């Protein structure tokens, strides 16, 4: 069957039926792509609120994760999809978070290898300090496309995390500008940018670097913030529970969950 030929109504019906089906305990999405924004107004949020279940994914699935949290207050999970690399690193976070109900601290690997300093998976502190709030966010371009709708949660005094893939840096600048103009950046308590995989200057002459773009938009906010967390289109990734209260340390690049995500 050609998946692209399936209607929005049919896709939404599948999600609604999975939540109403007592034999379904959790929903692990197969992959990202595009299309979740198209079905947000077809989801039965009242039924979903009555039948809370785990849903996990990332990239385009950001739409569902944010909308379900906004409309039902359920915790959703930014983590591996079916086609992800289910290696020991990523699977360990899924196990501890979803199967064991742990609250713990997530920090990047610190292995330097043969180097005198860490060069892989290092963090870049944008503004130091600690902050608390609910973790909310996901893919930058998908989240930005939801601005102005009723499907975004309240970011005030909460922690925004973002990741991206395959975007020229000027586009990242454009999207962060939109979040700024929409008032979202000005109300958050903390900021985490994960990985921006395959993001470069494209054909733009004299483009800013990604670090410069983040400095321009985030440093003036004066809130704890860093770049390089293990979140995004990468093999080794954290699983981030949306809607769970956490404490972040921008100097260490750590995310400490202050409560369990499942009960």
Could you list the active site residues?
59, 163, 233
Q: How far is CA 53 from CA 50, 110, 226, in A?
A: 10, 34, 31
Say which residue the tokens 């994914």 belong to: 57
CA torsion sign for 117, 120, 126, 128 is negative
Q: Which of 183, 190, 202, 182 is nearest to 229 (CA)?
A: 190
Residue 18 DSSP class: H
Whole-angstrom distance, CA of residue 59 vs CA of residue 145: 13
Residue 156 DSSP class: T
């Amino acid at each position: 069957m050609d998946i692209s030929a399936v209607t929005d109504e049919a896709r939404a019906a599948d999600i609604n039926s999975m939540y109403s089906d007592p034999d379904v305990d959790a929903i692990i999405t197969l992959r990202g792509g595009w299309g979740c924004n198209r079905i947000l107004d077809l989801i039965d949020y009242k039924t979903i609120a009555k039948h809370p279940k785990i849903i996990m994914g990332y990239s385009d699935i950001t739409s569902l994760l944010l909308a379900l949290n906004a409309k039902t207050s359920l915790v959703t999970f930014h983590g591996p999809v079916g086609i992800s690399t289910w290696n020991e690193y990523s699977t360990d976070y899924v196990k501890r978070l979803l199967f064991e109900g742990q609250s713990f601290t997530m920090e990047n690997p610190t292995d330097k290898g043969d180097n005198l300093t860490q060069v892989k998976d290092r963090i870049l502190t944008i503004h130091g300090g600690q902050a608390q709030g609910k973790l909310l966010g996901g893919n930058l371009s998908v989240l930005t496309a939801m601005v102005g709708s009723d499907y975004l949660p309240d970011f005030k005094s909460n922690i925004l995390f973002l990741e991206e893939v395959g975007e020229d840096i000027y586009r990242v600048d454009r999207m962060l500008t939109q979040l700024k103009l929409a008032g979202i950046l000005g109300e958050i308590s903390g900021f985490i940018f994960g990985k921006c995989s395959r993001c470069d200057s494209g054909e733009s002459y004299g483009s800013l670097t990604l670090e410069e773009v983040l400095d321009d938009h985030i440093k003036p906010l004066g809130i704890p913030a860093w770049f390089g967390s293990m979140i995004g289109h990468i093999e080794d990734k954290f699983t981030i529970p949306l809607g769970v209260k956490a404490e972040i340390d921008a100097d260490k690049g750590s995310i400490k969950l202050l409560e369990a995500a499942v009960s």
